[in-house]
Structure 1
Amino acid sequence: MALLQLWSEFVVSLLCLALFYCYYRIFFKNPTSMPVNWPVAGMLPGLLANLHRLHDWATDILQETGCTFSFRGPWFMGMDYVITCDPANLQHVFNANFSNYPKGDEFAEIFDILGDGIFNADGELWKRQRAKAHGLFSGRSFRSFVFAASRDKAEKGLLPLLDELTRRDEEVDLQDVFLRLTFDMTTYLVFGVDLCCLAIDFPTVPFARAMDDAMETLLLRHAVPHAWWKWMRRFRVGAVERRMAAAWKEIDGFISECVAEKKKKKKNSNNDQTNTDLLSSYMNDDDQEGAALHHKFLRDTAMNFMLAGRDTTGAALSWFFWLLSKNPSAEAKILEELKTISPEKDRSSSATVLFEAEGLGKMVYLHAALCEALRLFPPVPFEHKAPVLPETLPSGQRVERGTRVLVSLFSIGRMEGVWGKDCCEFRPERWISEKGRLRYEPSYKFMSFNSGPRACLGKEVAFTQMKVAAAAMLYNFQVEAVEGHVVEPKLSIILHMKNGFQVRIKRRCASP
């Protein structure tokens, strides 16, 4: 009881400081975004006062400080950060001195729901998992499986849903549509199961809702003292950690059912029967290697792949279509490019057109537009690292053991020194060379798929899913944003839209 009272007093004190900070900023007209470093509380009041606009606030600070900033948390709370978006620092941390920046125990504890999967793993465990995943993702059969599954879902799920929405002339949250689409795509790739989340009645899927709750909790754990959220997690105090516990239970239950069903089918089927989904592939590989089938390993692997595939791709598509709604000239260029790889359809019929892998692979402007959307709105807006040994970053900041390095991917795309004076503009042309080919940008400058040895293995999977969905939608339908609807980032580990993206869907008219 005494401990609860102590924490209550601490929280009240911080809130009072946050209110005082807001008063200070409003009435004294401080022109800087830099937070005040208060005694005892450090810069935490400034963080709490700007938590609702965290990514924009971090960007403002990094623009003022030259891409790197030292954040000081409350005394003895372990909340000291070096926040950076300096490409030189990123190249150093993610590539040149990669071995000094493992995920570490603290990262694994924050992202505890991912278990010992590839995102949390370090050392030999990580190397074994990455080698195994690389072998699966790079196989021709899996790439064919990804395209076929994506095209099938677009044909039988996405386009019929959009067609029905045009007949009803109803507003719809396009972000919800995309998250349902990529959820179904990802569950099929990982488990070989289509949960039919993308349906006209927009059913509530407990597993999908649990994933959303977990993602919100993971971000908030970065914004409060480490001991604070650990204490709340242990005693199930506070709505956030209680939701996390319920989400964890739901996620584990779903994955356990899928694993059990896979084992049952495998036991009753002929040995020569093979499945291409990732869970089956891992189970088959374990058999071939003579290794014991470990339930926790399969659970952690499936959870990591679900996080990587479902939320990130759905968020990327949402921001992509929002940007197109603001930039009709870019949309027109994509449509012109689509017409070069597909014959004009008969507008008098209700038939819809889909595109083949070969044609989509030739689309330079579509790929450039997707890269530009990812640059401005990276699905994972920040990365978290911690050094094993203290050192000095190329920018001159000293990082000690226990000091975390937060990389703001959201801010990188908004730095003039990195992308030029038009850095905040949506301009796909920056990705196209004078010869009309895709321009290469180093991963430490464009980090939507991470950088260095931990670069995302699912990059091509994501582009395949996005191109299939985007091309089919753009060619067959018009997406009109609802006037007055506010779109802004949500406070989550994934860069979702806080209020969704309200649109109306219409059939695309034939050209004169």
Structure 2
Amino acid sequence: MASCSTDYSAIVFALTAIIIVPIFLFIFLVYHNIIMRYWNYLATVPWNWPILGMTPTVIAHIHRVHDRLTEVIQEVGSTYLFKGVWFSGMDLLFTVDTSNINHILSVNFERYPKGPDFKYIFDILGDGIFNSDSDVWRALRKTAYALVHDHKYLKFLETITLKKVKEELVPILQTVSENGSVLDFQDLFQRLSFDVTCMLVTGSDLHSLSLGFRHLFSKAIDDVEEVILLRHFYPKKLWELQKKLQIGQPVKLKQAWEIIDENISTLIASKRESLKNQMKEKEGGDDDEEGADLITSYITNMNKDDKFLRDTVLNFMIAGRDGLSATLSWIFFCLSNNPIVVEKIREELRTTIPTSEPCDQWRIFSTEEVDKLVYLHATLYETLRLYPPLPFQHKVSVHHDVLPSGHHIKPKTKILFSLYALGRMSEVWGKDCFEFKPERWISENGKIKHVPSYKFLAFNAGPRTCLGKQVALIGVKIVAAAIIYNYNVIQQSGHEVVPSSSIILHMKRGLKVRVTKRWIT
């Protein structure tokens, strides 16, 4: 009987072990998973500190602010309320919800202007088109749209871009390819786009493409853009106190502002003098390129004062210089990691060359030629999806509203769209959203797919869609095609490329590359 009892107990113990242990193990794993997920959640989501709000998190991650925001949105959802310092008015609603973006930028455009806080943060832009709202903005946009879409202006753009590429960019690339030195492509493109934009806007060539010299005007714009990003998270009273004490970021802004104003004043005075002395007289009727720059049109046709011209020059300089240089920099970063894409672009470029011309020699491509290229266009759009030059959009509500996501909006609520994060949302772009795939832009019939602007926000959406879109595309394609077809670009081994902390998506340490020629010249 004792033996039977012992056997019975052993059986019960074994059955208990078989049943209970897995149950306890399952419970342990579930709770462990929950705890770890909550721990990771706390590690990702900014902590709302007493008084300081979530500002300490911004400060801790300011060196990687764009990727940090992407991580937070991926963890908490497509719309997220950032709590600033208590009673500072610094609360921000971040969203990458496409229905919200369409609701704000298009459907209810009038309810969401840029607002006075935007103008305060971007005060250096004055009363230019980017700071303006309502009827003032409409008048500025109508005039600017007519000027930048004029056939003479577009021809002027092609002429000066091709000239800069042939006479200044190519000699630099030739020299670097021969001596084998390392070149910072971002710096090169900033110099090139600065010169091209300055000529388009003012008619003056500042010749900053010389690698031994960096124009103070361009450097001052970089400084301004870094300060403006910080001002988004700076309590207004703290900013005004530092400004009064002449310490910190306000001093940096003031110094850059003075340099910018001095340079623009000189350019405007030079333009007025040249027009007065009739040094820019037309010699070929409507086909003449002289006087095709924007400021000539504003002075001769509209008699605008220097304050208006100053604000206009700076607004267009920032838009043109940064849009062109940032896009070119990121294109070649993407291409350096995707050699198959490079070969596809080269093959497409060869299709534009007449059969009477050899395909194995140095060549520059015109606007008409690059405009036909679908794969190059798709590559450009794919770059802009992942690396939009302007990574943020800023709006403010003027009425109570309920967003499609269900979030209630009070008047004066500040809303920021993260274009950088938007391009990395799997629910918008698919599970391969982090991959660089130009093919995602090409339809089955071989044409560029139409993607709603509220999904692809690189050129804005709604009534404020970028009026310089055509100008930007032409400039980027001409420069990119010339380099891709004639040179091999190899990113320097070990060089880390990351976005900088700025309102413009520059590269923190530039893009260090080596260049080799494809053709014997």
What does residue 282 of structure 1 align with? 298
Aligned match of 2:330 in 305, 319, 337? 319
What does residue 17 of structure 1 align with? none
Task: Find the aligned partners of 2:466 and 2:437 in 1 and give their Cα distance.
Answer: 24
2:309 is the alignment partner of 1:298: yes
Task: Find the aligned partners of 2:212 and 2:366 in 1 and give their Cα distance.
Answer: 28
2:81 is the alignment partner of 1:81: no
Query: Deviation at 1:228?
Result: 1.6
Correspondences of 1:111-510 after superposition (within 5 Å): 111-199=122-210, 201-238=211-248, 240-269=249-278, 273=282, 275-287=291-303, 293-342=304-353, 345=358, 352-508=362-518
2:101 is the alignment partner of 1:90: yes
Task: Find the aligned partners of 2:401 and 2:137 in 1 and give their Cα distance.
Answer: 24
Query: Deviation at 1:65?
Result: 2.3
TM-score normalised to structure 1 length: 0.90
Decide whether the 8 Å contact of 2:41 with 2:75 is kept in 1.
no
- In the TM superposition, structure 1's runs of 4+ consecutive aligned residues that sit over 4 Å from their partners are 28-32, 343-347
- Structure with bigger gyration radius: 2
Q: Deviation per CA, 1:318-348: give whole Å up to 9, x if none.
A: 011000011111111001001111266586x
Task: Find the aligned partners of 1:301 and 1:446 in 2 and give their Cα distance.
Answer: 27
Query: Deviation at 1:260?
Result: 0.9
Equivalent residue letter for 2:443 = S
Decide whether the 8 Å contact of 1:317 with 1:470 is kept in 2.
yes
Decide whether the 8 Å contact of 1:186 with 1:306 is kept in 2.
yes
Equivalent residue letter for 2:56 = P
After TM superposition, the structure 1 stretch with the greater mean CA deviation from structure 2, 62-71 or 78-87, is 62-71
Query: Deviation at 1:32?
Result: 4.6
Query: Deviation at 1:270?
Result: 7.9
Task: Find the aligned partners of 2:114 and 2:81 in 1 and give their Cα distance.
Answer: 20
Decide whether the 8 Å contact of 2:274 with 2:280 is kept in 1.
no
Task: Find the aligned partners of 2:236 and 2:269 in 1 and give their Cα distance.
Answer: 36
Matched position secondary structure for 2:514: strand
Equivalent residue letter for 2:302 = D
Structure 2 gap segments, 5+ residues each: 1-35, 283-289
Query: Deviation at 1:157?
Result: 1.3
Task: Find the aligned partners of 2:205 and 2:353 in 1 and give their Cα distance.
Answer: 29
Matched position secondary structure for 1:503: strand
Query: Deviation at 1:509?
Result: 5.1
Matched position secondary structure for 1:70: strand
What does residue 12 of structure 1 align with? none
What does residue 10 of structure 1 align with? none
What does residue 33 of structure 1 align with? 44
The aligned length equals 474
Matched position secondary structure for 2:500: coil
Task: Find the aligned partners of 2:280 and 2:72 in 1 and give their Cα distance.
Answer: 59
Decide whether the 8 Å contact of 2:489 with 2:516 is kept in 1.
yes
Equivalent residue letter for 2:307 = K
Query: Deviation at 1:105?
Result: 1.0
Task: Find the aligned partners of 1:463 and 1:365 in 2 and give their Cα distance.
Answer: 14
Structure 1 gap segments, 5+ residues each: 1-24, 288-292
Query: Deviation at 1:390?
Result: 2.2
Decide whether the 8 Å contact of 1:213 with 1:243 is kept in 2.
yes
Decide whether the 8 Å contact of 1:382 with 1:409 is kept in 2.
yes
Matched position secondary structure for 1:195: coil
Equivalent residue letter for 1:336 = E
Decide whether the 8 Å contact of 1:82 with 1:399 is kept in 2.
no
The structure-2 alpha-carbon separation of the partners of 1:393 and 1:508, relative to structure 1 and needing over 3 Å to count, comes to: same
Query: Deviation at 1:230?
Result: 2.9
Query: Deviation at 1:280?
Result: 0.5
What does residue 8 of structure 1 align with? none
After TM superposition, the structure 1 stretch with the greater mean CA deviation from structure 2, 401-410 or 173-182, is 401-410
The structure-2 alpha-carbon separation of the partners of 1:116 and 1:95, relative to structure 1 and needing over 3 Å to count, comes to: same
Matched position secondary structure for 1:380: coil
Matched position secondary structure for 1:389: coil
Query: Deviation at 1:138?
Result: 1.5
Task: Find the aligned partners of 1:411 and 1:29 in 2 and give their Cα distance.
Answer: 19
After TM superposition, the structure 1 stretch with the greater mean CA deviation from structure 2, 203-212 or 45-54, is 45-54
Decide whether the 8 Å contact of 2:193 with 2:320 is kept in 1.
yes
Query: Deviation at 1:176?
Result: 0.4
The structure-2 alpha-carbon separation of the partners of 1:395 and 1:141, relative to structure 1 and needing over 3 Å to count, comes to: same
Q: Deviation per CA, 1:111-166: give whole Å up to 9, x if none.
A: 01100000001111111100000111111111111111111111111111101111
The structure-2 alpha-carbon separation of the partners of 1:271 and 1:467, relative to structure 1 and needing over 3 Å to count, comes to: closer
Task: Find the aligned partners of 1:481 and 1:409 in 2 and give their Cα distance.
Answer: 26
Matched position secondary structure for 1:118: coil
Query: Deviation at 1:254?
Result: 0.9
What does residue 83 of structure 2 align with? 72
Q: Percent identity?
A: 45
Decide whether the 8 Å contact of 2:196 with 2:205 is kept in 1.
yes
Equivalent residue letter for 1:256 = S
Decide whether the 8 Å contact of 1:236 with 1:242 is kept in 2.
yes
2:64 is the alignment partner of 1:53: yes
Matched position secondary structure for 1:487: coil
Equivalent residue letter for 1:171 = V
Decide whether the 8 Å contact of 1:78 with 1:402 is kept in 2.
no
Equivalent residue letter for 1:452 = G
Task: Find the aligned partners of 2:56 and 2:381 in 1 and give their Cα distance.
Answer: 36
- What is the RMSD computed on CA atoms of the aligned residues? 1.7
Decide whether the 8 Å contact of 1:86 with 1:395 is kept in 2.
yes
Decide whether the 8 Å contact of 1:166 with 1:505 is kept in 2.
yes
The structure-2 alpha-carbon separation of the partners of 1:171 and 1:271, relative to structure 1 and needing over 3 Å to count, comes to: closer
Correspondences of 1:102-113 after superposition (within 5 Å): 102-113=113-124
Matched position secondary structure for 1:245: helix
Query: Deviation at 1:272?
Result: 6.0
Task: Find the aligned partners of 1:126 and 1:166 in 2 and give their Cα distance.
Answer: 47
The structure-2 alpha-carbon separation of the partners of 1:270 and 1:486, relative to structure 1 and needing over 3 Å to count, comes to: closer
Query: Deviation at 1:224?
Result: 2.1
Task: Find the aligned partners of 2:236 and 2:415 in 1 and give their Cα distance.
Answer: 15
Equivalent residue letter for 1:403 = T
